[in-house]
């Protein structure tokens, strides 16, 4: 790529609207050693099988499409979004967010977990 092309690309990117609620995208995709360690940890955790919608949501988290969220919503954020279309926790408290981003779990699995427990999210096809 020529210097002119690089400058043009940089100028174009600087004119883009920043992501909602953040100065830059917040992709959550893991690579390299971090991915390897996460997979090792996941093999020791209880699992939750994702629906196709939840799998799509997970992809959106990975690419930063749900910036500034860090993951599926907690109860306070879910309630705030359902009632007022606003996040209710963390640095993003009060931020407009119109769609709840939720993770479902079978009752038996949910009953066996405590708030803050880690789980491995798996696809229906393995």
Query: Residue 55 belongs to a domain with what CATH number?
Result: 3.10.400.10
Q: What is the pLDDT of residues 91-110, one digit of tens each?
A: 899 999 999 999 999 999 99
Residues 24/25/29/35 CA torsion (nearest 10 deg): 0
Structure tokens at 111: 């009953």
Note down the domain range covering 40. 3-122
Quote the number of domains for the chain: 1
33, pLDDT greater than 70: yes
Residue-level pLDDT at 11: 54
Mean pLDDT of the chain: 89
Q: Are 63 and 57 in contact (CB under 8 A)?
A: no
Structure tokens at 61: 């988290």
Q: What is the pLDDT of residues 40-73, one digit of tens each?
A: 999 999 999 999 999 999 999 999 999 999 999 9
């Amino acid at each position: 790529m020529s210097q002119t092309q690089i400058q043009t690309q940089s100028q174009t990117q600087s004119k883009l609207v920043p992501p909602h609620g953040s100065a830059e995208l917040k992709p959550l995709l893991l690579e390299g050693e971090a991915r390897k360690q996460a997979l090792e940890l996941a093999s020791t955790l209880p699992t939750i099988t994702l629906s196709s919608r939840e799998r799509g949501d997970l992809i959106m988290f990975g690419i930063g499409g749900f910036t500034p969220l860090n993951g599926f919503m907690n109860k306070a954020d879910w309630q705030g979004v359902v009632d007022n279309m606003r996040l209710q926790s963390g640095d993003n408290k009060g931020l407009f967010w119109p769609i709840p981003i939720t993770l479902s779990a079978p009752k038996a699995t949910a009953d066996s977990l405590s708030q803050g427990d880690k789980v491995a999210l798996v696809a229906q096809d393995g």
